[in-house]
A and B are shown apart, each in its own frame.
Chain A
Amino acid sequence: MKETLLLNCEHRFLLCAIEEKKQLDGRQTYDYRNIKISFGTDYGCCIVELGKTRVLGQVSCELVAPKLNRATEGILFFNLELSQMAAPAFEPGRQSDLLVKLNRLLERCLRNLKCTDTESLCAVAGEKVWQIRVDIHLLNHDGNITDAASIDAIVASCHFRRPDVSVQGEVTLYTPEEHDPVALSIHHMPICVSFAFFQQGTYLLVDPNEREECVMDGLLVIAMNKHREICTIQYSGGIMLLKDQVLRCSKITGVKVAEITELIQKTLENNQKIREGVENSWGDLEDSEKDEDEGGSDEAVILDNIKMDTGAEASDIGSQDDPIVLSDSEEEEMIILEPDKNPKKIRMQTTSAKQEKAPSKKPM
């Protein structure tokens, strides 16, 4: 399908609104949309929602022979796919320009920077190394794919655990039951921040949504980590910039990246606590703190049939105000959640499809 065209009146409306420093969703100029980070069952599966832009990332690993000129280093591979469900304009043949741009940016930001220690991925020098593959799929396009994808890639990599190996003559791969899986060693977390310029560079917005992207004149992406080191800058837009605009943007990036990195740390810690809590003792569910930050984003953990002798049943929890619905299962005595209880509980959420299937699930 062709891209949905932007109407002239919509175009003018957006530009006028931006001139008056107003955005349709009530954000200020330097505000990000709500960021929600949630994890899947497996290690390395992560969904990031930046406003309505939704991105799913999965990290997987494999033992392969190393590249000839880098015999002691593992291989890191990033791939971003623009799924056809994300926007009507994304068709297999048509997306190449945008796809190339986004992929190259992500590659430069993450792979070339050695944010992951590739030497630690070597199992047997010259013969077997780990190849880590990060696949990111765009599920819904509402602007600013770059930022969402970069957050997703980093969080998924931090969350991922690879199987432990030991080498005694030959390589033995341990299953998760035998040895705990090992995390990747990540040196630093580069996060991309996008700035959109309007009216020949007079006005600037952080985190443009899709409509604003149609109207913008130029896009500047700065990737920074929390130590205020700039990892990548890319500007190639239709308009010309001045040096102090770039410097000003880099200062704003510093602030934003600090906030986002903090959110990421919190969600990762939270997820870790929940996993340990559930694995340690099934009946003794620990409380986990609810995450609160910039506009009430919270993390949801999707747990499903963890290796327990009883199946894990979960209840569907919407926002804090919605009544908590218990699933129809025999493990009801294990989870007791009252609707009016204050939110210091483990919040487990399944998709509504699972909710419908729950009654037919047999506990093991």
Chain B
Amino acid sequence: MAGLELLSDQGYRVDGRRAGELRKIQARMGVFAQADGSAYIEQGNTKALAVVYGPHEIRGSRSRALPDRALVNCQYSSATFSTGERKRRPHGDRKSCEMGLQLRQTFEAAILTQLHPRSQIDIYVQVLQADGGTYAACVNAATLAVLDAGIPMRDFVCACSAGFVDGTALADLSHVEEAAGGPQLALALLPASGQIALLEMDARLHEDHLECVLEAAAQAARDVHTLLDRVVRQHVHEASILLGD
């Protein structure tokens, strides 16, 4: 789309947001009864569903069991109707495998796996609608699902994407902004300590700008954390009312 202005002179983006503004986030926990933990998140138009089973006994080969910690198994799947053009393979292609691997590494670092030796924790993420920032939405949904399952974690894992246009860093990219081909950064961090669990960047960005993009992504992730924290407290509050506390 030639001539599409990602950032107008007054500082408004294509969807009317400011440079550092996030899209509207709505989330729900405890969506499924069968799973140990589940969550649904909507970040703007990106919708992701996460389900957690575990900790349970290792399925399949016993030899994969780790003697001192739990095994985390992640699968990422993106529905065929999630993108503009119908996707042929929902999972099993390279990109989904890579996403699954990255989610696994992120959560292996965040979950206190030492508390559950020789067991397995499964995290399944499904993207229902992809409008940019799919990795971030998946991580946020998975965090909520893991919390819903009651599995202890070091901290929330909050993720957000960021880009860079015309000398300004943009937070939480939508599909239009991603497709424009500028640099995109996906960052997952633990908000309390500011530690980075995952960092992935595509497209050319000059080294001097790296810091401001990183900072924009970190700030956006911290904003996401405030929202997710509120969602969790709300959920626990509702649950405690039902229990008659």
Contacts and interface: CB of A to CB of B under 8 A. Distances in A.
B190 A231 contact: no
B31 interface: no
Nearest to B108: A238
Interface stretch (A98-106, A318-326, A340-348, A351-359): A98-106
A232 interface: yes
Contact of A254 (B95, B199, B207): B207
B201 A242 contact: no
Interface of chain A: mostly helix, strand, loop or mixed: mixed
Given A235-B198, A240-B195, A242-B195, A230 B211 contact: no
Given A113-B204, A237-B109, A104 B196 contact: no
Interface residues of B, number: 34
Interface stretch (B32-40, B48-56, B99-107, B116-124): B99-107
B210 to A, nearest CB: 6
Contacts of A113: 202-204
Contacts of B86: none
A229 B203 CA distance: 9
Contacts of B214: 243, 246-247
Nearest to B155: A240
A234 B207 contact: no
A128 to B, nearest CB: 25
B215 to A, nearest CB: 8
A185 interface: no
29 contacts: A97-B97, A100-B97, A100-B98, A108-B202, A113-B203, A188-B204, A228-B206, A228-B207, A228-B208, A229-B205, A230-B201, A230-B205, A230-B207, A232-B201, A233-B199, A235-B199, A236-B105, A236-B198, A236-B199, A237-B105, A237-B109, A239-B109, A240-B195, A240-B197, A241-B195, A241-B196, A246-B214, A250-B207, A254-B207
Contacts, number: 96
Nearest to A235: B199
B198 A229 contact: no
Given A233-B200, A235-B200, A250 B101 contact: no
Interface of B: 94-95, 97-98, 101-102, 105-106, 108-109, 183, 185, 190, 193-208, 210-211, 214-215, 218
A362 interface: no
A230 B97 contact: no
Contacts of B215: 243
Interface string A187-223: 0100000000000000000000000000000001000
A254 B208 CA distance: 11
A297 to B, nearest CB: 26
Give 7 closest A-B pairs by Cβ, nearest first: A240-B195, A233-B201, A235-B199, A236-B105, A104-B98, A229-B204, A241-B196
Given A230-B204, A240-B109, A254-B207, 11 more contacts: A96-B97, A113-B202, A227-B206, A228-B206, A230-B205, A230-B206, A230-B207, A233-B200, A235-B198, A242-B194, A247-B211
Nearest to B154: A240
A225 B205 CA distance: 10
A242 B194 CA distance: 7
B95 A104 contact: yes
A307 interface: no
Contacts of A242: 194-196
A224 interface: yes
A167 B135 CA distance: 45
Contact of A104 (B94, B207, B210): B94
Contact of A236 (B101, B195, B208): B101
Contact of A101 (B98, B108, B193, B204): B98
Contact of B101 (A100, A224, A227, A241): A100
Contacts of A101: 98, 101
B201 A238 contact: no
Nearest to B208: A228
A310 interface: no
Contact of A112 (B98, B202, B208, B218): B202
A48 B194 CA distance: 39
Contacts of B98: 100-101, 104
A213 to B, nearest CB: 15
Contacts of A233: 185, 199-201
Contacts of B183: 230
A108 B94 CA distance: 12
Nearest to A220: B199
Contact of B196 (A227, A238, A243): A243
A283 to B, nearest CB: 48
A301 to B, nearest CB: 33
Contacts of B204: 113, 188, 225, 229-231
Given A229-B205, A236-B102, A241 B199 contact: yes
Nearest to B93: A100
A246 B109 CA distance: 18
Contacts of A229: 204-207
Contacts of A250: 207, 210
B206 to A, nearest CB: 5
Given A100-B94, A104-B94, A242-B194, A236 B206 contact: no
Contact of A246 (B199, B203, B205): B199
A100 B104 CA distance: 14
Contacts of B208: 228
Contacts of A96: 97
A242 B197 CA distance: 9
